Structure 1
Amino acid sequence: MKKIGLVKEPAFETRICFLPKEVKQLTQLLEIGVQVEKGLGEGLGISDTEYKEAGASLQSREDVLNNSDYILSINEVTDLMLDGKQNVLIGIFNMLFYPKRAEKYLDKNTTVYSLDLLPRTTLAQSMDVLSSMASIAGYKAVLKATSHYNSSFPMFTTAAGTLNPAKVLVLGAGVAGLQAIATAKRLGAIVEAFDVRKSAGEEVRSLGAKFVEVEGAEEAKDAGGYAVTQSEEYLKKQKELIHERIRNANIVICTANIPGKKAPLLLEKRSIDAMKSGSVIIDMAAEQGGNCEMTQAGETITYNNVTIVGNSHLSREVSQSASQLLSTNYYNFLKYLVQSTKEDDVLLEKSKVIDNGTITKPLLTNKFELA
């Protein structure tokens, strides 16, 4: 019988990738065993007993890593033993941006699937970890902005006078951006949104926000719904438009990212200098360079009386909900992987980064050689 191993995440990680509910579904559906490191769910208030009652066996970390055919995690498992035993590692490793993470698996009997590389297709929707986490993070970004903003979001009309609603500018109208728009609107803010993709305009307007755009953007049909790198001329026009709009904004939510590449710089220092005192910027692209020139990844700073929060992992601050979504995503992927009988399965090939110690992605190979 094949065995799945679930181990604790590093101390900085608040989420877990597999909950007891999905363990029970998996053991009932497939002839497969599940081994869980003791204390796996304690950060979420999930006891070892709940995992045991779901059908898992409780083991030490060493035993789980040494005796599992599939290892599931969110982050890298740095103490995974690569001693010749065949392993399949499944996680969210972002190796296109951090190619050195692939080094330890080269020439080893290990296959690595990175779920951030799943194609954005109908078949893969139920496994789409990026969309799940982006939605949670977009919601949390607005709530975090409210905690740093020293005025109200909705309009208040009182006997003492009227308080104007906050003006929110969202940069990037992907999953995170759309959730940020919806959340800000629910809180009563006036919302504008920018995206290089003209196709995003309809979704933005459907949420009650104003769509601002620069004509002449390049779009690629095979980009999976993501933005693509733009021309220098377009980028210049884009920065001027954002500079103009940001003067009136109280809150800016930055969500623009290009998979495997540095995040586009949208907010220059001169634009931040033009912002109102007390404004707040939440930069969700911080880890990949940030959309804001002054962003410091993992830090909250104040520049010219503007608060700038650099946080690419906001879903960790909504760990219960994030873990529920991740658990469903991982369950659906694992079920698909185990049951797949296709020789050339597009979904699995897209997400497979390393096949028995060999890098499968030419782009990653190039980056690894240059890193």
Structure 2
Amino acid sequence: MGVLRESAAAERRVALPPGLVGKVRALGLAVAVERGAGERAWFSDSAYREAGAAVLTAEEVIDSCDTLLCVGPPAVSRLRPGRLLIGLLDPLRNTDLVAVCAARGVTAVSLDLLPRTLSRAQPMDALTSQAAIAGYKAAVLAADTYGGYFPMLVTAAGTVRPATVLVLGTGVAGLAAIGTARRIGAIVTGYDIRPEAADEVRSLGAHFLDLGPAPHGGGTGGYARALSAGERAAQQDALQERVVGFDIIITTARVPGRTPPLLVTAEAVKGMRPGSVVIDLAAGADGGNVEGSVPDTSLIVGDGVTVIGAGNLPSAMAPAATAAYGRNILAVLTHLMQDGAPVIDRSDEIQAAIVVHGAATTDREITA
């Protein structure tokens, strides 16, 4: 099994930390790590060697390993026929990668397709582990960027009011952001189109933003559904009137395989008070929740509103994010192992969901 160095410039995570190498070896797998794969997460090559992994060149890992682990999608040039590739491959958008896997007989296992409603799949749920980190980090980043206090302070010079925070999208990342902002001391409000969201928000001691009659956006697998054009327009109009009253906006709304929904317009951002902060966790190459947000970039908009495109915040906490992701990877490998080798079985409901393309990676039969 080989651990690849991530090719994306802003990605600091690695698929497996040194602390889990021994557990992977206990499954019967030899472990090779590409030289420098963990250095951006502060895991040295020597740490991997001490844990029992071989540290090899990129070519040696790719050529000699039957199974390859990654965080984000690797360059297609790194794919070899007959390999098993496991990572967060985003196949609904990375169709070129899927096509190359099919053409080269690569079995691709994408953890972002995991059915989150299956209890036995929860240890493998990398989207949840990384989203929880992103939500936590978003609240901390907002507090660090905001020029005022988060908690209320009573001093001899007077009382300082607490910051007001609005979190749009209350999935795993949103709830983590709400809980963290509340612990720091802010007054927090949450909003989501899913019908169960109001109770989830209030359970954390936050307020729920009532926009009046609104569409129910409950989808499958624990995700929200995509709204129609008319529903999106009505939602944007209602939100535009309300967001201007908050000091901090954190947006977290994503729909798998779709462009993130636009929740906060440029006009709404310009209407916010000077010094306000907007953090877009959905910011990416295909847009985000905030109009004008740019991935991995902090912008000053209007009269002094800071807009941060933060679509990959887990990378900013690479050691912690790698540790969590590595445990997800270990759970997946454990699930796939039979008699000392990973075996793909599309009759298994978990594998049926996460295996993008099947091919013969060993002498065992694998169902395409």
- TM-score (normalised: structure 2): 0.90
Query: How much does 1:239 deviate?
Result: 2.0
Residues 196, 213 of structure 1: 8 Å contact kept = no
Query: How much does 1:343 deviate?
Result: 4.9
Pair 1:162-2:165 in alignment: no
- TM-score (normalised: structure 1): 0.89
SS in 2 for 1:192: strand
Partner residue of 1:123?
Answer: 120
Match of 1:228 among 200, 205, 225: 225
CA distance in 1, matches of 2:165, 2:191: 11
Match of 1:96 among 83, 92, 97: 92
Q: Structure 2 counterpart of 1:320, which letter?
A: P
Structure 2 gaps, min length 5: 361-368
Residues 198, 213 of structure 1: 8 Å contact kept = no
Deviations 1:253-304 (A, max 9, x none): 0101101101111111221232111111000111141111121223211111
Residues 263, 289 of structure 1: 8 Å contact kept = yes
SS in 2 for 1:106: helix
Q: Structure 2 counterpart of 1:189, which letter?
A: A
SS in 1 for 2:119: coil
Partner residue of 1:320?
Answer: 319
Tell me whether 142-151 or 229-238 shows the greater mean CA deviation: 229-238
Distance change >3 Å, CA 20–CA 297, structure 1 → 2:
closer
Query: How much does 1:156 deviate?
Result: 1.0
Match of 1:27 among 25, 28, 36: 25
CA distance in 2, matches of 1:273, 1:60: 50
Tell me whether 223-232 or 111-120 shows the greater mean CA deviation: 223-232
Query: How much does 1:57 deviate?
Result: 2.2
Residues 195, 213 of structure 1: 8 Å contact kept = no
Distance change >3 Å, CA 219–CA 293, structure 1 → 2:
closer
Residues 263, 290 of structure 2: 8 Å contact kept = yes
Distance change >3 Å, CA 9–CA 251, structure 1 → 2:
same
SS in 2 for 1:32: coil
Partner residue of 1:178?
Answer: 175
Query: How much does 1:213 deviate?
Result: 3.7
Tell me whether 326-335 or 207-216 shows the greater mean CA deviation: 207-216
Pair 1:16-2:19 in alignment: no
Residues 107, 356 of structure 1: 8 Å contact kept = no
CA distance in 2, matches of 1:196, 1:279: 24
Query: How much does 1:82 deviate?
Result: 4.7
Pair 1:187-2:202 in alignment: no
Residues 42, 319 of structure 2: 8 Å contact kept = no
Residues 344, 351 of structure 2: 8 Å contact kept = no
Give percent identity, aligned residues only.
38
Deviations 1:79-126 (A, max 9, x none): 65555x410111112121232332332321211111111111211111
Within 5 A, what are the aligned runs for 1:235-314? 235-287=232-284, 288-304=286-302, 305-314=304-313
Within 5 A, what are the aligned runs for 1:200-211? 200-211=197-208
Tell me whether 199-208 or 49-58 shows the greater mean CA deviation: 49-58
Deviations 1:47-93 (A, max 9, x none): 3333233232222221111011100011233265555x410111112
SS in 1 for 2:30: strand
CA distance in 1, matches of 2:24, 2:353: 24
Residues 82, 109 of structure 1: 8 Å contact kept = no
Query: How much does 1:31 deviate?
Result: 2.0
CA distance in 2, matches of 1:240, 1:109: 48
Query: How much does 1:341 deviate?
Result: 7.7
Structure 1 gaps, min length 5: 358-371
CA distance in 2, matches of 1:253, 1:79: 34
Residues 194, 218 of structure 2: 8 Å contact kept = no
CA distance in 1, matches of 2:272, 2:101: 47
SS in 2 for 1:202: helix
Partner residue of 2:352?
Answer: 349
SS in 1 for 2:148: coil
Partner residue of 1:63?
Answer: 60
Residues 66, 81 of structure 1: 8 Å contact kept = no
CA distance in 2, matches of 1:109, 1:95: 16
CA distance in 2, matches of 1:239, 1:79: 38
CA distance in 2, matches of 1:233, 1:77: 38
CA distance in 1, matches of 2:328, 2:172: 16
Partner residue of 2:365?
Answer: none
CA distance in 2, matches of 1:248, 1:140: 23
